[in-house]
Structure 1
Amino acid sequence: MFISRFRVNTARSGARRLLSSPQTLHAAVMSSFPGILPSDRAAPDAPRVLWRLDHRSRAEVLLYIVGPDRPDLTHLVEQAGWPAAAGPANPGWQTRPYAPFLDRLAAGDRWAFRLTANPVHTVRRKEGEPRKITAHLTPTHQMGWLLDERRQQRLGFRVCEKPAERRLLPEGTTHRKHPHPGDRYELTVGDTRSLSFTKSRGPENRQSGPVTVATATFEGRLEITDPDALRRALTQGIGRARAYGCGLLTLAPLARPTPRTP
């Protein structure tokens, strides 16, 4: 496994075209892996490729990719990077082996995390109707989706709770009747988006109906409870819409507290 980072040159027209369509960007990401043929992608045992866009600012957009092989992002550099600045020492992206990091994950370790996901649930509007997949649209429900105990158990981590002195209320909620989990946990939800695009299918790229994917980006702190389960989550993804930039969880060391001046 390898993890890669590519900075998008948002001033280029090719970058704007890629950023405007999750399906187009997905195709560009998959083209980075010459060993994965288009005919193999729909197979049940096809290698999993995950990607995520981090919009740090209007001029700073980072593309993260996790895949089974070392990717070749030359075409992305040419379309949406800085090709004139690329060279043997700096091809325009960074790639590192993922296995050494995955191997050292241990139960009890705490990490900062970031995840863009498609939080959904199933609802039945009328008696007798089949259940329908519906997106969570409010931060409270989106947090509840990630904080679900069974989901966290499957993923091999738990979101850390805030110390009592950092909570706004003793119980960590903002309303008695409608508890909000955000004040209790080291978790925030931001960069919510509704991605709408037309999906192409078949070898002739026939257009099907419009597709809408609601996404939310979670940031916070987690504690590892099951390293093997967490490794699966890091390499296989979390939730739905993984072909459209959802499901990639990344970890980073926790920032050390700044020592107080006596």
Structure 2
Amino acid sequence: MYLTRFRVNTGRTDARRLLEAPHRLHGAVNMSFPDLPSRDGAGPRVLWRVDRNSTAETLLYVVSPNRPDLTHLVEQAGWPAADGLGWTTFDYDGFLTGLAEGSTWAFRLTANPVHNIRHEDHKEGERTQRVAHKTRYHQLRWLLDRQEKSGFEIVSKPPERRLLDHGDEHELVVRDQRPLQFNRPPAKDRRQDVRFTRVTYDGRLRVTDPDVLRRTLTHGLGKAKAYGCGLMTLAPLTRADG
């Protein structure tokens, strides 16, 4: 497995077009590999995420079974005349293998928190509708409900650090919420309107099952993985994190 970091040159028009259209960026990421892994769920897949850390720093992260070649992204959305490749790829296997039960990490996850609803006047056999969680409480609850099955637990806050009586029990925040809408290329002469909400979480977690967490980190969490959701990354805690 590999973890790749690419800095996006947001001063370029083509870069901004990619960032505004998840399906185009999905295609650009896929072009980094001569052969894409199967998406049958049996093995790791290509995951990606965009972190907008500041107006001067936008980073694209890619986790993949094979080493990518981002030359085309450098030419389209990077600094082609600068020294170096324009991206950095790390061997991810060593980090994944070293994950230990009980270890604590800072994490970031961009996900698509959704739930299924059925209308009161539904007809028998009618399919449920997938809708986005829109409130901070339900978005946080979405992740908390999945922690056990994903190989980790969100670290609890000590009572004296909680700002609210309810809803602030964990080291977990929603940093960014971004509703997205775009038209995919036509399929069978009909354009497809895609709408979803992309949410970024920052927090602290404790590893409860290293094998399961390794799968979460390499297979993704939740829906809309093709559009920049599902990728969780870990980082060592700093002194400021406690």
Q: Out of 225, 230, 241, which is 1:247 matched to?
A: 230
Once residues 209 and 8 of structure 2 are traced to their aligned partners in structure 1, the CA distance between those partners, rounded to angstroms, is: 35
User: Runs of at least 4 residues of structure 1 off by over 3 A?
Assistant: 40-47, 127-130
Q: Identify if the C-alpha distance between structure 1 residues 54 and 258 changes in structure 2 by more than 3 Å, giving closer, same or farther.
A: closer
1:128 Cα shift? 3.5
Residues 150-165 of structure 1 correspond to what in structure 2 (within 5 A)? 151-165=146-160
Q: Is the 8 A contact 2:51 2:58 kept in 1?
A: yes
Q: How does 1:1-262 map to 2 (within 5 A)?
A: 1-36=1-36, 48-86=45-83, 90-129=84-123, 130-148=127-145, 151-169=146-164, 172-173=165-166, 181=167, 183-200=168-185, 208-257=191-240
- CA distance in 1 between counterparts of 2:69 and 2:241 reads 40
CA RMSD of aligned residues (A): 2.0
- Aligned to 1:83, the other structure's residue is in SS state coil
Quote the Cα distance in structure 1 between the aligned partners of 2:44 and 2:131.
Answer: 28
Distance, in Å, in 2 between the alignment partners of 1:70 and 1:258 is 32
Check conservation: 2:44, 2:218, Cα contact below 8 A: no
Residue identity matched to 1:14:
D
For residues 106 and 42 of structure 2, what CA distance do their matches in structure 1 show?
31
Q: Secondary structure at the match of 2:15?
A: helix
Shift in alpha-carbon separation, 1:17–1:143, aligned structure 2, 3 A: same
In 2, Cα distance between equivalents of 1:232 and 1:9:
32
TM-score normalised by length of structure 1: 0.86
SS at match of 1:84: coil
Whole-angstrom distance in 1 between the partners of 2:137 and 2:110: 16
Distance of 1:195 and 1:45 partners within structure 2: 29
Retained in 1: the 8 A contact 2:181–2:193?
A: yes
How far apart, in 2, do the equivalents of 1:104 and 1:61 lie? 28
After superposing the two structures, state which structure 1 stretch, 159-168 or 99-108, moved more: 159-168
Distance 2:170 2:241 in 1: 22
Which residues of structure 2 form unaligned runs of 5+?
Answer: none
Once residues 43 and 105 of structure 2 are traced to their aligned partners in structure 1, the CA distance between those partners, rounded to angstroms, is 30
- Kindly provide the amino acid, as one letter, of the partner of residue 190 in structure 1: R
Query: Aligned residues, how many?
Result: 239
TM-score by length of 2: 0.93
Aligned partners of 2:173, 2:63: CA distance in 1, in Å?
Answer: 24
**CA deviation after TM superposition for structure 1 residue 163, in Å:** 1.1
How many Å apart are 1:105 and its aligned residue? 0.3
Cα pair 2:39 2:45 within 8 Å, conserved: no
